[in-house]
Amino acid sequence: MATFVKIVYLCTMFFGRIITRSKRIEANELIDVTSDIASIDPSIPTLIVGKQLAVEMFGADKVKVLNKNIDKNISWTFLKTERRSDFEKDISNFKNDVMRRITKSVKYYYVDVITSSAYKMMRFVRMLADGRPKTVFIRNNNMYIYVDKWVFGVSLDDIEYIGINRNKVFSFIKRLRNVRFVYDNKNWSIELKRETFDNAIIVPYISFVLNNDFLRM
């Protein structure tokens, strides 16, 4: 007998969810892996692992082999023991989709300190000092500052090119209220490090989320 699931909205910091009875599925810390069928949140990508589990949750009429989408953000896949190739492909595609959505949810603006007008630079400095929570990440002589779904990028080489010592910039920013520097991501899972290796822009945003500064509604 099918146990149909009532879909409700939950407040969560996860950006994706895998519902499974298996204990062998690994995912980065932005994806919730759970056996709790009541944790369905239609606002985030959700993957049900196991055809029988999907049928129990949504009914046989919703679980199609040729089209595994159950709802807008809800899909299912076979267990590894049922169809290994489908399982591995669907798990990989699901994880990639979650990361793509995270990347698209953050807007990026490059602050060109060499060509920007004095007015624009003043607005940028005022934004830094406005008291809103910010996370700063530095990689390859670039500084990335996350605030309110925006990441601002600044070249430290360009800062020194116009005659400003980068350490003075760091000291200024560190004195500001509600600013946290992220110097590395050593506490992240190996999987999350690999998935963000070529995408420094989203690192401060993810750090912001993982440090409980932000709850996605």
Per-residue pLDDT band at 17 (split at 50, 70, 90)? very high
pLDDT at 180 exceeding the cut of 80: yes
Specify whether 52 is located in the same domain as 123: no
Q: Is the pLDDT of residue 89 over 60?
A: yes
7 found inside a domain: no
Residue 131 is part of a domain; what is its CATH number?
A: 3.30.720.210
Instruction: Render pLDDT for 50-85 as a digit per residue (tens, 0 to 9).
Output: 999 999 999 999 999 999 999 999 999 999 999 999
Residues 204 and 121 in one domain: yes
User: What's the domain count of the chain?
Assistant: 2
Same domain, 120 and 187: yes
Note the pLDDT of residue 148.
Answer: 93
Query: What's the rounded Cα separation, in Å, for the pair 5 and 3?
Result: 6
- Written as one string, the DSSP assignment of 143-203 is EEEEETTEEEEEEHHHHHHTT--HHHHHHHHHTSTTEEEE---TTS-HHHHHHHTT-GGGH
Q: Which of 37, 68, 103 represents a domain boundary (last residue)?
A: 103
Would you say 208 and 144 are in contact if contact means Cβ atoms under 8 Å apart?
no
93 and 142 in a common domain: no
Confidence check: pLDDT of 47 > 70: yes
Please report whether residue 215 resides in a domain: no
The residue out of 39, 72, 103 marking a domain boundary is 103
Is residue 216's pLDDT more than 60?
Answer: no
Assigned domain for 41 exists: yes
Same domain, 66 and 112: no
For residue 1, being part of any structural domain is answered with no
pLDDT of residue 212: 63
Look at residue 214 and tell me whether its pLDDT is greater than 50. Answer: no
Q: Is the pLDDT of residue 155 over 70?
A: yes
Q: How far apart are the first and last CA of the chain?
A: 33
- Longest Cα–Cα distance of the chain, Å, equals 72
Q: Which domain holds residue 167?
A: 108-210
Q: Both 51 and 128 in a single domain? A: no
The verdict on 205 and 143 lying in the same domain is yes
pLDDT higher at 168 or 212: 168
Q: Look at residue 3 and tell me if it is in a domain.
A: no
186 found inside a domain: yes
Residue 7: pLDDT above 50? no
Among 103, 138, 153, the domain-final residue is 103
What integer pLDDT is reported at residue 22 of this predicted model? 87
What is the rounded average pLDDT of the residues 144-171?
Answer: 96
d(CA 208, CA 136): 9
**114 and 90, same structural domain?**
no
Q: What angle do CA 77, 80, 85 make, to 5 degrees?
A: 75
Q: Is 70 exceeded by the pLDDT of residue 202?
A: yes
Mean pLDDT is lowest, of 87-96, 161-170, 190-199, for: 190-199
Pair 25, 73 in one domain: yes
Q: Are residues 180 and 196 in the same domain?
A: yes
The pLDDT of residue 144 is 97
Residues 202 and 120 in one domain: yes
Angle formed at CA 54 by CA 52 and CA 57, multiple of 5 degrees: 110
Residue among 60, 66, 90, 93 nearest 77 (CA):
90
Residue 10 is assigned to a structural domain of this protein? no
pLDDT, mean over the chain: 89
Does a structural domain hold residue 31?
yes
- Judge if 205 and 128 occupy the same domain: yes
